[in-house]
Amino acid sequence: MFQSRVLIAVLAGLFFLPTGCAEPEPLRTYSVPVEAGPIIRQMEAAIVLVDDKAWFFKVMGVPEVVAQHRADLLVFLQSLEFGDEEPLNYQLPAGWQVIPPDPQVSTNPHSSTPPGMRPFAEIALATNSEHAAAPPPLKLVITRLDFSVPEAQEERKASQASYTLQNVNRWRRQVALPPLEAGDSGLQGESFQTKTGQDGNLYSMVGQVEAAGRRPPALKEFDVDTDNIKTPSGWTQAPNDQFSKLAFTTGDNSSIRITVTPVSGSADRTQVVQSNFGRWLGQLGLSDFPEGAFSEPQEVDGHATFVVNVASTGPVPQPNGELSAGPVRIVGAIIFAEGSIWTIRMKGPALPVQEEVSNFNVFLNSTKFKPLPRR
């Protein structure tokens, strides 16, 4: 949770910155209810790695309804039994029912759904309403995929961590949330153990999805103009990670890393700010921003920009699993370039990063964007 006055200050800036037959039957019209505003959905998704298989369990729906089933979902996951003859057994909570598979899909070799992506099972969750107009019950979809397991134990752990990160970010994209990075607290989820002893994690995600048949108004999209980047003295261009468009290092032993990254997100700036800044907080082991962490809203190349400077209170876990030598600081900006959202982030040892703030500001304010052609 953000401190109330900090959040008010940030969100206030969000609204003030640029942005010969029988006679034919007459035509009939029907009124179809359409949800006003953003379409918000909650996803509960779990992953369990069992030998050379990855098992996925996913429910998505209206947050208020999904929340009613979360406790039962966790009990269900704890009842899972994996075996050789019977790949999966489980105990259904009261009111849950297995949905019979569609024989046309499961037996049709020309189905548009690849066999590996067809659900292993689907389960209808109990409904609390008998009203005729009530929405259909939520559905738990169970999927099983092959997973390549390295022989070496250390390689296996790294492979499992990378595989989990990829899938969590895949789920987050489905609800317009920004990607996580290795070491982020959000990757922990809620841990559970199955009846046969496998460890799993359950992830809760609330975000925005597109309404069927409706898209938001087209906005011009922008890319970073890499030909006109002003690189501060002492900064060295570095290899990108799987998300960044540009990366630099500086400081002793390249201990400070700066990244320029496009992020996914909804048209709701408040949600984007909360998601990204909250993710950075999690990387520092914090639950709240200290007083003065936010700078005043500003513009970069004419686009609304929000900047935060915050440090951990002590050592924090690093992507390699080890603790940092001391406190870690993140100086980061979110730039809303119409239909594109970008982050520029500097992260490293707290004091050296603070000493690089002036260079960060020079780099940030010199950043230019170029419009992408309409698709």
Structural domain span for residue 269? 217-371
Model confidence at 102: pLDDT above 80:
no
Averaged confidence pLDDT in the chain? 80
pTM more than 0.75: no
Within a domain: residue 44?
yes
For residues 199 and 52, state if they share a domain. yes
> How many degrees, rounded to 5, is the angle at CA 37 between CA 34 and CA 41?
85
**Which pLDDT does position 211 carry in this prediction?**
54
- Interatomic CA distance for residues 213 and 279, integer angstroms: 31
Within a domain: residue 302?
yes
- Interatomic CA distance for residues 16 and 299, integer angstroms: 11
Q: What does each C-alpha distance from 94 to 106, 125, 262 come to in angstroms? A: 27, 9, 44
- Residue-wise pLDDT for 269-289, tens only, equals 777 777 788 889 888 988 887
Within a domain: residue 133?
yes
Q: Any residues with CB less than 8 A from the CB of 185 and at least 6 apart, and which? A: 282, 283, 285
For residues 225 and 172, state if they share a domain. no
- Residue-wise pLDDT for 217-233, tens only, equals 445 678 888 888 889 99
Within a domain: residue 201?
yes
Within a domain: residue 256?
yes
For residues 124 and 100, state if they share a domain. yes
Q: What is the rounded average pLDDT of the residues 292-309? A: 84
Q: Whats the size of the chain, residue-wise?
A: 375
- Residue-wise pLDDT for 15-36, tens only, equals 445 444 444 444 444 344 444 5
Q: What does each C-alpha distance from 4 to 49, 284, 291, 298, 312 come to in angstroms? A: 40, 20, 11, 21, 20
Alpha helices in 152-233 (DSSP H): 153-174
**Which pLDDT does position 140 carry in this prediction?**
96
Q: Which of 149, 178, 209 is the last residue before a domain boundary? A: 209
For residues 225 and 192, state if they share a domain. no
**Which pLDDT does position 289 carry in this prediction?**
79
Q: What does each C-alpha distance from 217 to 17, 125, 308, 339, 375 come to in angstroms? A: 19, 35, 30, 10, 14
Beta strands per DSSP E along 125-219: 139-146, 190-193, 199-209
- Torsion angle defined by CA atoms of residues 157, 159, 163 and 169, in that order, rounded to the nearest 10 degrees: 80
Phi, psi of 62 (to 5 degrees): -60, 130
Model confidence at 187: pLDDT above 90:
no
Give the CATH number, domain containing residue 338: 3.40.1000.10
- Residue-wise pLDDT for 51-71, tens only, equals 888 899 999 999 999 999 999
Q: Which of 186, 209, 232 is the last residue before a domain boundary? A: 209
For residues 189 and 77, state if they share a domain. yes
For residues 173 and 261, state if they share a domain. no
% of residues, the chain, pLDDT over 90: 40
Model confidence at 196: pLDDT above 90:
yes
- Band the pLDDT of 73: cuts 50, 70, 90: very high
Judged by DSSP in three states, 52 sits in coil
Model confidence at 101: pLDDT above 90:
no
- Interatomic CA distance for residues 308 and 274, integer angstroms: 12
Model confidence at 12: pLDDT above 80:
no
Burial 213-226 (b: 16+ CB within 10 A, else e): eeeeeeeebbebee
Model confidence at 301: pLDDT above 90:
no
For residues 84 and 131, state if they share a domain. yes
Domains in the chain, number: 2
Within a domain: residue 271?
yes
**Which pLDDT does position 243 carry in this prediction?**
85
- Interatomic CA distance for residues 164 and 188, integer angstroms: 10
Q: Which of 285, 286, 269 is nearest to 336 (CA)?
A: 269
**Which pLDDT does position 162 carry in this prediction?**
82
User: Residue 248 pairs with which residues in a beta bridge?
Assistant: 237, 258
Model confidence at 114: pLDDT above 90:
no
Higher pLDDT, 258 or 146: 258
Q: Any residues with CB less than 8 A from the CB of 169 and at least 6 apart, and which? A: 179, 180
**Which pLDDT does position 108 carry in this prediction?**
42
Model confidence at 113: pLDDT above 50:
no
